[in-house]
Amino acid sequence: MRILLWHVHGSYTTAFVQGGHEYLIPVTPDRGAYGLGRARTWDWPASVREVPLDLIAAAEPDVVILQRPHELELIHPLGDVPMIYLEHDAPWGDVPLTRHPLADRHDVHLVHVTHFNALFWDAGSTPVTVIEHGVVDPGPRWTGEIPRAAVVVNEPLRRGRYVGTDLLPRLGAPLDVFGMKVSGLTGCRTHEDLPQDRMHTELGRRRVYVHPIRWTSLGLSLLEAMHLGMPVVALATTEAVEAVPPEAGVVSTRIDVLRAAIKRFLDDPADAAETGGAARRRVLERYGLRRFLGDWDRLLLEVTR
């Protein structure tokens, strides 16, 4: 079928467009927020086609996947087309009383990317499905040759406590921080906005992956690190407690426990290798593309009948 969706989250869309459909991506001359078009830093298949934003009706999509409330206004030219709203984020505001912008609507199907999100958003009577993340497998690249901990986070200075920026110096470990706008962080080495493939290789050279995020949906970088075969040390917040089983790493809300776990993996490469192998097996089973795309195909058939 022909699926219209905006390019909002590159990693998620990269996994989504691996299915067997035609994907219509709106584009504008300035390639702004509502017209990014095809990705330039991810390898998307030829089935992903750019469509000028003002011509989306002529593309005749079979279904629209919305990801931001304002997109509802942009699809008026389409008329009565089946709609899915894909919610990437954990709720903001008066948690756990936060009402979803599409609560109590029966003309749209709401999809959450984690069970945590579905639990905390109040969607009222809107039909809801959880489709857990899927990740394109970068392959087992862990070598652990560099006895340092790796963190992936975007804009840590602006986002602060949400992403655990204040926790980094308390972890007591040599840290390499990768992501966008990481320059300016002190007490660690920063690696500014590396291309995805290179970042995966560099992550795999570090001994352990650390996920200090307090409030997010479920960082795809965590799942990518597990795909690489990295042992994980993570805050026991949001969906991380579901994603990381005991054999794949250490998950806790106690900083002393996290510190000890990081030291354990830094000091024992064999332990890190064994734990990272378990992490990779787990993530391939639960967050692999086959399961992810199969879940989406079932829902797409349901909403377009």
Do 199 and 215 fall within a single domain?
yes
Contacts of 289 (CB under 8 A, 6+ apart): 15, 18, 134, 135, 136, 137
Q: Is residue 140 assigned to a domain?
A: no
Residue 253, domain extent:
146-287
Which residue in 144, 222, 225, 228 sits closest to 236, CA to CA? 222
Task: Looking at the structure, tell me whether residues 114 and 151 fall in a common domain.
Answer: no
Structural domain includes residue 267: yes
Same domain? 79 vs 170: no
Same domain, yes or no: 98 and 162: no
Q: Look at residue 57 and tell me if it is in a domain.
A: yes
Rg, Å, the chain Cα set: 20
Same domain, 168 and 61: no
Q: Both 269 and 255 in a single domain?
A: yes
Query: Cβ distance 109 to 299 under 8 Å?
Result: yes
pLDDT for 175 equals: 98
The residue type at 260: A
Residue 263 domain-assigned? Answer: yes
Q: What confidence score (pLDDT) does residue 213 get? A: 96
Inter-residue long-range contacts of 242-246, CB under 8 Å, 24+ positions, other chains counted: 242/114, 242/115, 242/116, 243/218, 243/283, 243/286, 243/287, 244/279, 244/282, 245/278, 245/282
Q: Could you state, in chain order, the average pLDDT of each consecutive group of 10 residues for the chain (305 residues)?
A: 96 95 97 94 91 96 97 94 97 91 96 97 98 96 98 96 96 97 95 94 98 93 97 97 97 98 98 98 96 98 95
Q: Are 152 and 281 found together in one domain? A: yes
What's the CATH code of the domain at 244?
3.40.50.2000
In a domain, 202, yes or no: yes
- Tally of structural domains, the chain: 2
Pairing of strands 22-27, 2-5: parallel
The predicted structure's pLDDT at residue 42: 78
Say if 106 falls within a structural domain. yes
105, 154: one domain:
no
Q: Is there a single domain that holds both residue 150 and residue 281? A: yes
Q: Tell me the three state secondary structure of residue 148.
A: strand
In the chain, the amino acid numbered 139 is G
Task: Map residue 151 onto helix, strand or coil.
Answer: strand
Q: Give a yes or no: residue 112 inside a domain.
A: yes
Specify the pLDDT at position 40.
83
Residue 167 shares a structural domain with residue 281: yes
Same-domain pairing of 9 and 128: yes
For residue 224, being part of any structural domain is answered with yes
Burial annotation 83-101 (CB, 10 A radius, 16+ → b, else e): bbbbbbebbeeeeeeeebe
CA atoms of 146 and 166, how far apart (whole Å): 24
pLDDT for res 43: 82
